[in-house]
C-alpha cells in the first residue's frame, strides 16, 4: 500500500534547503521517497527570475549527495516546480511530496495519491503549438497511471512546468531556420502555459482532441481545465508533470480537493474547498484546523478584459509592476486571510486554467490533525 | 439639521472627473455642498506619484468653474485626500463627501457627521517633529467641533494628509540654515505619517501630551490611534483633516463604524466592522447589501519585523516593488474579497495607525438600501 | 520674415509651468507665438504615465488664461508632445517652440523653421494600420508646407504624437463591433509608433506608398525614417505633428541638424551631429558651446535581437523594469556625457525610426552664443 | 616571477559558468590558479538579488569538482565579488583573475599584480561601525602584502565585498540583545559600503585613523578613497578583498590604471584612464584597441543632492526604480559608449568611493594586443 506524505518547509532564501536537510538528517524524510517538489520562491516570477534555477540546483545537489546519483539525472526524474513571486503576505516555502511503501497498513478509504512524469524536451519552435499540447497530454496520462488513479474525477490538481523561449533561444531557433511563435519571452511564457493547460484538459479527457483549434488558443477561454496549474520558465526544457488526486489504493490521513475560482474576488471557492475537506472558515480557519492543512495551491489571472465585476482594474496597464505580480499579491491576500497563513502557493498566468479571469484552488489536508 | 451624503465615483484616469461633472449637471450634487474628497488614484503612491496632484488640479478647476471662485482658494478649504496605488484588484475611484442642510427633517438617531479643517503650512524642518504633531492635533479638534460630534467615541475615522519633504525642499531648507529630519523623501513620508497619527491620537484624547517623546516616535508602536488614517505627499503644504463620525445632530441613512486590524491577515476585523453596521459576510457580502456600502477605508502596513504570524514575508527586502505597494495589494485583495467589490480605499504607511503590523478599517453604509 | 525661438525650461514637477509663466510675465515669450511644446516628464513613459496629461492640462490652462480662449480649443491647435521617463541623468524639462514675425530683419542664410499640423482623430480600430499611416503622412505634408520648407533634405526632425488603445478603449471598440489590432496597451503603443514612423517616411518621400505592406510592419526594420520621432500615449486622439528644419525664409541664429544612430553605443553620431553645427566635443562640449545648444532630441531602442555588438543585453528579459526605461537611461547617459548636460529629450520606442537597434539624434543650436 | 592573467567571460544566466568550464577543459585556465572572480549578474543589485548567490554556488561547485576540495572551503579562500544589475547596455559577464608562476620569464617593467584576503565574519551589530572599518583595513593591508606591491601609489583598485543585515539577521541580533545600526536592509547595504570605503582608505594610508569620526560617516563625503570599490550583499559574512595594482615583481602584458569620476557625466575621466594605458578614444576606442582591454571597473552614485551640474535629476524620488539601478544604467551607457563594448562592471553605491556624486573608473589592458 502506497502512502503519500507532504512536508511544507520554510526557506530563508532560494538556495536554502536547510529544513529539508534537517528532516533527512533526522530520518523523517527518506531521500529516495522524494517524488516531487512544489515551491514559491521570492523572485519576480518572470523570464529573468533565477531563484527557480538556484533552488533547483541546490535541491538536486542535496539529493545527489544523499542518493549518490548525479544531479543531472535526478533533475530528469524528480519534478521540481517553482513559481517565483511571493508578493504581499506570501511566505517563501516549498512542499516536498514523498511516496512511501507501508506494508500491512489497511486501506481506510481514498487517500492522497501522487504520480509524476516527464516529456521529451520541447524545441523552441514547438512552444505553444499543438505538438506541445500533445506532449503535455501524454505526460499527464502517464502520471495518472503512475499514481494509480482510476477515475478521472479523482484527479484534483495537475501541476505542469513548461519550457518557454528566451530571446537567445528564439534567435538560435530562427538562425537554424525554425520559426518560434514569438521571440518575446513574456509572450512565450503565456503560450507555454496555455499549451500546458490544454494538454492537461486533453490528458484528463475534459477537452476533446477536436474541441479546439489554433483559433481558440489564448482566445476562447471557455475551453479550460479547472484542475490544471501551469508554470513556465527558462530553466526547463521538458514538460514536468505532477498529478495529485485521491485513490483507494493509497493509505494515510491526507486528502485533496479543488474548486474553480470565478474571479479574483471569489472567496466562496476558498471556503468551499476547505469545506470539502471538513474544515470551517468563519471567517478564518481555526488554529487547530490550520495545522491540518498541508498545502494550498492556487492559480489566478488579471482579468484580461480590464474589469472585475464591472469595476476597472489597472493591472494590465501598469508599466512598473507586471500584471501577474499584481494579481498574485491580491489573490494571495484573500486566500491567506481565509486560511490565516501566508504559506500558500499562488501562481499567476492562468490562461485556460479555470474560468476566464479567475482560476482554481486546491488544498491538501489531513482528515484529523496530523503531520503536515 | 445637517445631512451627509456620500458619492462613490469611478474615474477613467486621474484627470477624469466626468462622473462628478454629470452629478453636478443633473443637480444630484450641489457644488457648494462638497465638503471633502477622498480617493484612490492609479499612481505608485510614492514621492513621485503625480496622479494626486493631477486629480486635485482637475477637481479644483471643476469646482472653481461652478462656484465661480478661484481654485487657489478652494484648495485651502476643501480637503482632497488622495492615496496613490490601486494595486491588484483595487479600482480607481473617489468618494465625494457632501454636507447639506435639510430643514424640517426629524432626527432619527445618530447619523454620519462630517467635519474638516486645515492647519497652517508646515515648514520642511518641522515635518515629523513635535510642532507637526501639535499642528495636526489642533486641526483635528477644530474638525471634530465643526462636525458637531460631542462624544469622542463617536469619531470613527480621521483622515489627514500631511506634507513631506522632497529632495528639493530639503535642500532649500538646509540652504536656509534649517535642519529637516531627513532629505530622503520616502523617509520623510514615514515621519509625516507618524506625526499625523500621533496628532490624531492627541487631538482625540487617546494619547496624552506627555504620553510620548522623541524616542517613541516611529519606535514605540504601542502608541497608536485606531481611528487615524494618514497620507503624505509632496502636493500639500498644510495638514488637511477630515473627521468622520456619528452624531445625533445629523440626519440621513448613513452611519460609520471602524475596527482595528491586528495584522494583514485579520479578516475578522473586516467581518466585524460590517456586522457593526448590520451587514453579513458569509463569506461575502450579498449583492443587495453591497449596494448599501458607500465607502470602505483601510490602512495597513508591511510588518516591519519581517514576519506575519511567524512566517517570513519578503515585502521589506524587495528592491523592485515598494513595500507599501506590496501590502496595499494584499490587504485590498482580502477586503475586496469579503466585500465583493474593488472600489475600496486601501492606503499603506500605517505607522502608529492601529496595531503594529496591522492597521484599521472603517466602513460607511446606509441603514437600509439607499443612495451610495 | 518668420523667426523661430526655442526656450528650454526646467520643471519642479509635471504640473509646474512656472518658468514659462515667468517668461510670459517678463514679456520674453508672447503666448500667441507659442507654436508647440516638446518635453520630458518624470513619469514611467508607459500606458499608465499620467504626467503627460497633467503637464498638458496645466500648459493649456496657462495659455488659455493669457490668450482668453478655451483650453479645449488650444489643445487642438498647439502640439504638446511629451515623453515620459527621465531615467538616470535626464532632467525633466520642456522646450517651447515659438514663431515670431520680425519685419525688416534681413535673411542671413537658412535658419530654424517650425511647422505644425493635426490629423483627424484616429479610431481605436485604425491604430497601427494603413489608415493610421496615411493620416500621419497627410499631417506631415501639411506641417512641412506650414513651415515653408521647400527641399525635403532641409527637414531634420519630425515629432509625432500618436494615439494608442487602452484596455478600456479596445473593449469599447470591440463592443461596437470593431476590431483593434490588439487590446494590449503596451503593444498598441508600439503599433502606433510604427505607424507614425512609416507615416513620416511616406510624408517626406523617404518611403514609397508601395514600399511596404502589412508584412513589413514591425518586421522589416530596414524600412525606416532617420528623421521620425514618434511618441504614443493615451492622452491624445489625433496625430499631432511638429516639423523642424532649416529654411532660407526664416531668420535668426538657430539651426538644426540630425544623424541616425547605428546602435545604443553610437557615440560617433552624437559627436557628428554637434560637428554639423560647428560644436566640438573632445570628449565633452565646452561650457561656452553648451550654452549655444537649445535642444537635444534623441530616439532609441533596446535591440530586439537581444545583443549589442555581439554581447547579450538583458533589457528585453526584465520583468521588473520596462525595456524602454532601460534603453532611455543608457542612451541618455551617453548623450548627456558628451553634451555635459542632462536636459536632453531621449525617447524610447524607435521602431522604424532610424536604423534597427539604434535610432537618431537631432540638435538645435545657435550659430553664435545666443538665447537658448 | 608571478604572472597575472585576466579572462572576461560571458554568461547566459547567473548559473552559467560554461565558458570557464571550457577554458579549464582546454587547459587555458588552471583551476588552482584562479585567485578571484569579479562579475556583473543580471539581478536587481538589491537585498533580494539572489543571482549573486546562485553564481557563487555554481562557481564553487565547479572549482570544487576540479580541485577536489569542498566548496565550503573554497568560498573562504577565493573572493567572488558580484554586483547585480546589468541595466541598459551592460552585458552579464565575469572576470576571472588568475595568478600563475612562470619561471625564467624576465621582468619587463611593472605588470598587473593581484592580492586577496578575507577578514573574520562581521557580526550584524558591527556592520557599518568602526570595528567594521578596521576589519576591512586589516584585510586590505594583507592583500597588498600578498600582491607584493610596495608603493601605495601602485595600488589602483581595491574591490571589497562587505556583509550587510537582512531583516531576519537584524531581528536575530536584536533578540540576542545586540543593536544593529539599522534593520532596514537597503540602509544597511549603504552603511556596509561606507565602512568598506573608509576601510580601504585607512588600509592604503589615504585616510588617517583619526581623520574621521562617527559624525563624518555617510555625511562628510570629502573623506573618500578614489580606489575603493565596495559591494555589499546578504550572501557573505566576512569582508572579501581583492587588491589590483602594478608591480615590478610581476610579469606579463597587463597593466591597470584608475581615475576618479567627478560626477555621472564625467566622460573626461573615461578618456583619461584609457589614455593612461595608451589607448585613444576619439570618440570611441578603435576595434583593435578594444581587444586589448581586459576589464573595465566603475563605481558611481546618484547625486544625493538631487542635482547634476545644476539640473534636477529624479533618481532619488523614484518609488518604482531603485536609484542605484538608475545611475548604473546611465553611467554604463556613457562608459560603454566610449569603450564600444557593454562588458563593463558598473556598480552603484559609491559612498566615500571617489568624489561625492561621482565615483571612479579602473581599466586593465594589455600593452600590446594580447589575450584578454
The ipTM, to two decimals, is: 0.94
Chain C contact for D44, CB < 8 A?
yes
**Which pLDDT belongs to residue B122?**
94
User: Per-residue pLDDT averaged across B268-286, rounded?
Assistant: 98
Does pLDDT of C371 surpass 70? no
Chain A contact for B19, CB < 8 A?
no
CB contact set of D154 (below 8 Å; sequence gap of 6+): D110, D113, D245, D246, D247
| CB-based contact B265 A308, cutoff 8 Å | no
| CB-based contact A319 C167, cutoff 8 Å | no
Chain B contact for D46, CB < 8 A?
yes
Say how many Å lie between the first and final Cα of chain A, rounded. Answer: 20
> How far does Cα D61 stand from its chain's mean position?
22
D161 classed as catalytic:
yes
What is d(CA B287, CA B292) in angstroms, rounded to the nearest whole number?
A: 9
CB contact set of A12 (below 8 Å; sequence gap of 6+): A18, B312, D168
The sign of the CA dihedral A301, A307, A311, A316 is: positive
Q: D222-238, pLDDT tens digit by residue?
A: 999 999 999 987 778 89
Q: Which of B41, B50, B322 to mutate to test the interface with C (most CBs of C within 10 A)?
A: B50
The DSSP H or E segment spanning A307 is: strand A307-308
Chain D contact for C337, CB < 8 A?
yes
Does pLDDT of C213 surpass 90? no
Tell me how far CA of residue A96 lies from CA of A34, A59, A216, C256, D214, in angstroms: 7, 11, 36, 66, 49
* A:266-285 residues touching chain B, CB 8 A cutoff: 266-268, 270-271, 281-284
What is d(CA B154, CA A339) in angstroms, rounded to the nearest whole number?
A: 33
| CB-based contact C313 D270, cutoff 8 Å | no
Domain C1-105 has CATH 3.40.50.1000: no
Chain D contact for A51, CB < 8 A?
yes
What is d(CA B112, CA B6) in angstroms, rounded to the nearest whole number?
A: 10
Of A14, A168, A320, the CB nearest to D50: A14
Does pLDDT of D369 surpass 90? no
More confident call, C197 vs B171: C197
Cis peptide before B54 (omega within 30 of 0): no
Does pLDDT of B107 surpass 70? no
- Which of A182-191, B69-78, D320-329 is least confident? A182-191
> How far does Cα B308 stand from its chain's mean position?
24
B-chain residues near D316 (CB < 8 A): 167, 184-185
- A223: nearest Cα among A351, A137, A324, A360: A351
Contact A12, A101 (CB under 8 A): no
Cell of B95: 468618494
**Which pLDDT belongs to residue D52?**
94
Q: Which of A218, A317, A326 to mutate to test the interface with C (most CBs of C within 10 A)?
A: A317
- Which of B56-70, C78-92, D159-173, D279-293 is least confident? D159-173
CB contact set of B27 (below 8 Å; sequence gap of 6+): none
Q: C7-53, pLDDT tens digit by residue?
A: 999 999 999 999 999 999 999 999 999 999 999 999 999 889 999 99
Q: Return mean pLDDT, chain C.
A: 94
B-chain residues near A87 (CB < 8 A): 321, 326, 329-330
Q: Which pLDDT band holds residue B371 (cuts at 50, 70, 90)?
A: very low
Cell of A123: 524545441
Does pLDDT of C107 surpass 70? no
Selected catalytic residue, list A142, A161, A238, A366:
A161
Chain A contact for B359, CB < 8 A?
no
**Which pLDDT belongs to residue A216?**
85
**DSSP 8-state class, residue D61:** H
Selected catalytic residue, list D135, D229, D231, D238:
D231
Q: C327-353, pLDDT tens digit by residue?
A: 999 999 999 999 999 999 999 999 999
Beta-strand relationship, B307-308 and D345-347: unpaired
The sign of the CA dihedral B199, B203, B208, B209 is: positive
CATH topology of domain C108-252: 60s Ribosomal Protein L30; Chain: A; (3.30.1330)
Q: B298-321, pLDDT tens digit by residue?
A: 999 999 989 999 999 999 999 999
Dihedral of CA atoms C78, C79, C80, C85 in degrees, nearest 10, equals -170
Of B267, B311, B340, the CB nearest to A337: B267
Say what angle helices C323-339 and C267-276 make with each other, to 10 degrees: 50
**DSSP 8-state class, residue D152:** G
Does pLDDT of D220 surpass 70? yes
| CB-based contact B12 C57, cutoff 8 Å | no
Q: D339-358, pLDDT tens digit by residue?
A: 999 999 999 999 999 999 99
Instruction: Output phi, psi for C119, to 5 deg.
Output: -90, 175
- B4: nearest Cα among B90, B98, B68: B98
What is d(CA B191, CA B214) in angstroms, rounded to the nearest whole number?
A: 12
A347 classed as catalytic:
no
Instruction: Output phi, psi for C250, to 5 deg.
Output: -115, 155
Chain C contact for D107, CB < 8 A?
no
User: Per-residue pLDDT averaged across C356-368, rounded?
Assistant: 94
Cell of C254: 538657430
Please tell me whether residue D162 adopts helix, strand or coil conformation: strand
Cell of D371: 589575450
- The three state secondary structure string of chain C is CEEEEEEEEECCCCCCCHHHHHHHHCCCCCHHHEEEEEEEECCCCCCCCCHHHHHHHHHHHHHHHHHCCCHHHHCCCCCEEEEECCCCCCCCEEEEEEEEECCCCCCCCCEEEEEEEEEEECCHHHCCCHHHHHHHHHHHHHHHHHHCCCCHHHEEEEEEEEECCCHHHHHHHHHCCCCCCCCCHHHHHHHHHHHHHHHHHHHHCCCCCCCCCHHHCCCCCCCCECCEEEEEECCCCEEEEEEEEEECCEECCEEEEEEEECCCCCHHHHHHHHHHCCCCECCCECHHHHCCEEEEEEECCCCCCCEECCEECCHHHCCCCCHHHHHHHHHHHHHHHHHCCCCCEEECCCCCECCCCCEEEEEEEECCCCCC
Q: B149-164, pLDDT tens digit by residue?
A: 999 999 999 999 999 9
What is d(CA D20, CA D11) in angstroms, rounded to the nearest whole number?
A: 9
List the CATH code of the domain at D253-366: 3.30.1330.160
**Which pLDDT belongs to residue D105?**
62
Chain A contact for D317, CB < 8 A?
no
Do domains B108-252 and B253-366 share one topology? The answer is yes
**Which pLDDT belongs to residue B108?**
67
A-chain residues near B268 (CB < 8 A): 283-284
Does pLDDT of D76 surpass 50? yes
| CB-based contact C50 B168, cutoff 8 Å | no
More confident call, B188 vs A261: A261
Count of C-beta atoms within a 10 Å radius of residue C131: 14
The DSSP H or E segment spanning D62 is: helix D51-67
Contact D165, D132 (CB under 8 A): no
- B225: nearest Cα among B183, B256, B194, B265: B194
What is d(CA A346, CA A339) in angstroms, rounded to the nearest whole number?
A: 13
Residue B77, CA atoms < 13 Å, CB-side half-sphere? 14
> Would you kindly state where each structural domain of chain C is located, as residue ranges?
1-105, 108-252, 253-366
Q: What residues in chain A have per-residue pLDDT under 50?
A: 369-372
Contact D253, C324 (CB under 8 A): no
Distance from CA of D87 to the nearest CA of C (A): 6
Count of C-beta atoms within a 10 Å radius of residue C262: 16
**Which pLDDT belongs to residue B300?**
98
**DSSP 8-state class, residue B102:** -
More confident call, C212 vs C104: C212
Chain D contact for C18, CB < 8 A?
no
User: Per-residue pLDDT averaged across D281-285, rounded?
Assistant: 97
Q: C46-103, pLDDT tens digit by residue?
A: 889 999 999 999 999 999 999 999 999 999 999 999 999 999 999 999 999 999 987 6
Contact C186, C348 (CB under 8 A): no
**Which pLDDT belongs to residue C104?**
63
| CB-based contact C265 D342, cutoff 8 Å | yes
Q: Which of B87, B167, B171 to mutate to test the interface with D (most CBs of D within 10 A)?
A: B167
Amino acid at each position: 500500500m502506497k502512502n503519500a506524505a507532504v512536508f511544507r518547509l520554510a526557506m530563508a532564501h532560494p538556495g536554502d534547503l536547510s529544513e529539508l536537510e534537517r528532516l533527512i538528517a533526522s530520518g523523517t524524510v527518506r531521500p529516495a521517497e522524494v517524488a516531487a517538489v512544489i515551491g514559491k520562491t521570492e523572485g519576480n516570477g518572470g523570464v529573468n527570475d533565477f531563484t527557480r534555477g538556484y533552488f533547483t540546483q541546490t535541491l538536486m545537489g542535496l539529493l545527489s549527495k544523499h542518493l549518490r546519483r548525479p544531479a543531472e539525472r535526478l533533475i530528469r526524474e524528480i519534478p521540481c516546480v517553482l513559481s517565483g513571486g511571493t508578493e504581499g503576505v506570501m511566505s517563501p516555502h516549498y512542499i516536498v511530496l514523498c511516496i512511501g511503501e507501508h506494508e500491512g497498513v489497511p486501506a481506510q478509504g481514498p487517500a492522497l495519491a501522487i504520480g509524476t512524469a516527464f516529456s521529451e524536451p520541447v524545441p523552441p519552435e514547438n512552444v505553444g503549438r499543438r505538438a506541445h499540447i500533445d506532449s503535455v497530454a501524454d505526460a499527464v496520462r502517464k502520471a495518472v497511471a503512475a499514481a494509480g488513479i482510476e477515475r478521472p474525477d479523482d484527479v484534483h490538481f495537475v501541476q505542469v512546468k513548461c519550457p518557454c523561449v528566451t530571446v537567445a533561444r528564439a534567435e538560435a531557433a530562427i538562425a537554424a531556420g525554425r520559426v518560434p511563435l514569438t521571440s518575446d519571452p513574456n509572450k512565450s511564457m503565456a503560450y507555454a502555459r496555455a499549451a500546458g493547460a490544454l494538454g492537461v484538459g486533453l490528458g484528463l479527457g475534459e477537452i476533446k482532441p477536436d474541441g479546439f483549434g489554433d483559433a481558440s488558443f489564448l482566445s476562447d477561454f471557455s475551453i479550460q481545465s479547472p484542475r490544471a496549474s501551469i508554470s513556465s520558465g527558462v530553466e526547463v526544457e521538458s514538460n514536468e508533470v505532477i498529478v495529485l488526486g485521491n485513490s483507494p489504493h493509497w493509505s494515510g490521513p491526507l486528502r485533496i480537493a479543488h474548486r474553480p475560482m470565478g474571479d479574483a474576488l471569489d472567496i466562496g471557492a476558498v471556503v468551499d474547498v476547505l469545506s470539502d475537506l471538513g474544515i470551517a472558515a468563519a471567517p478564518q480557519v481555526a488554529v487547530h484546523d490550520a495545522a491540518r492543512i498541508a498545502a494550498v495551491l492556487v492559480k489566478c489571472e488579471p482579468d484580461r478584459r480590464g474589469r472585475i465585476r464591472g469595476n476597472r482594474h489597472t493591472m494590465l496597464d501598469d508599466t512598473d509592476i507586471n500584471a501577474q505580480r499584481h494579481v498574485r499579491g491580491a489573490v494571495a491576500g484573500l486566500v491567506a486571510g481565509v486560511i490565516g497563513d501566508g504559506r500558500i502557493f499562488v501562481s499567476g498566468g492562468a490562461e485556460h486554467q479555470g474560468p476566464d479571469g479567475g482560476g482554481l484552488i486546491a488544498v491538501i489536508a489531513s482528515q484529523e490533525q496530523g503531520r503536515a
